[in-house]
Amino acid sequence: MPSSSSEAYVPLRQRAEWWDVRPVPQDEGPHPVVPIAYTEEFRDVMDYFRAVYVAGELSPRALRLTTEALMRNPANYTIWHFRRLVIDALDSDLVEETLFVDNLAKANPKNYQIWHHKRWLAEKLGPEAANDDHDFTRFMLCHDAKNYHAWSHRQWVLQKLGGWDKELDFCHQLLEEDIFNNSAWNQRFFVITRSPLLGGLSAMRDSEVDYTIKAILQNPNNESPWRYLQGLYKGNPDSFITDERIPQLLLNILKENSYCVFAWNFLLDVLCKGLRPNKEIEEAVKGLTELDDTGSSDQDLPTRICSALERMDPIRVNYWAWRKSNLTL
């Protein structure tokens, strides 16, 4: 391991175990344009690493050397690849290796090579690694709820090693803490559609619609549950069109907040999918879009909504104009 900050670094040429190794300096050519100002410690470690790498030395000291190198540059994929060769050759303790890589990941939470190494370890350890990996990604997500690497690893572990039984509760916990956590909404959809324990989207749709409507009513200006609600009807547009909870939700929201862009967008999408609005919805839309002085009273409902959205959401005015232009295509 590298020396602590309180200890002076001992060059490898002064360490007894490396007396027989001739370091291989980095070849930057005769006239490097922009030479990198490596520290002497980093240069020393990498010169010796290149020597053992070229020699193909799969030894305990080579493993220790990769540790020193990775502590100084955890993004070097060549070192990680060589470390895996050494671990396999020595039949090293994989639990100990997991502790090493977890500590490195905490200091480098968005490092591709570290997460790839964790997946490699989990594959070798098998289902017994599932709980520890779930605990670890939970820890990482507590510090950064949008860490793509942690979410990707968690989904991979679920599919390959298991641990589905508590995942929906985990998603609910995250949404209780932050209802705007779009990553948690994404994970929730992943669980209800992929978990072998829940019966799939068709079995979960009814209860999930209730769950999502509750979240929307809690904060209508949160785009994530609106998108999630549409996703719940994926592959089953008829249910989307006939579910009586949908028009009631829209009426409730728009009566309270006639400028809720997400509600108008949702209604537009529903109408474009074939929903035949009941009289109450039709009257509400006509009444609320009267606020839009650019529209015409004889426009159909989708066109009226697009016209209103052009005014309500000026940042995306070109998008709404494009949507309106495509309504008749």
Indicate which residues carry an active-site annotation.
110
d(CA 287, CA 242): 23
User: Closest Cα partner for 83 from 117, 111, 133, 46?
Assistant: 117
Q: Judge contact between 306 and 327, C-beta under 8 A.
A: yes
CB atoms within 10 A of CB 150: 25
d(CA 31, CA 39): 20
Backbone dihedral region of 99: left (phi > 0), alpha (psi from -120 to 50 degrees) or beta? alpha
> Which residues are within 8 A (CB) of 139 and not within 5 positions of it... i.e. 6 or more apart?
none
Q: Which two tokens stand for residue 235?
A: 């592959």
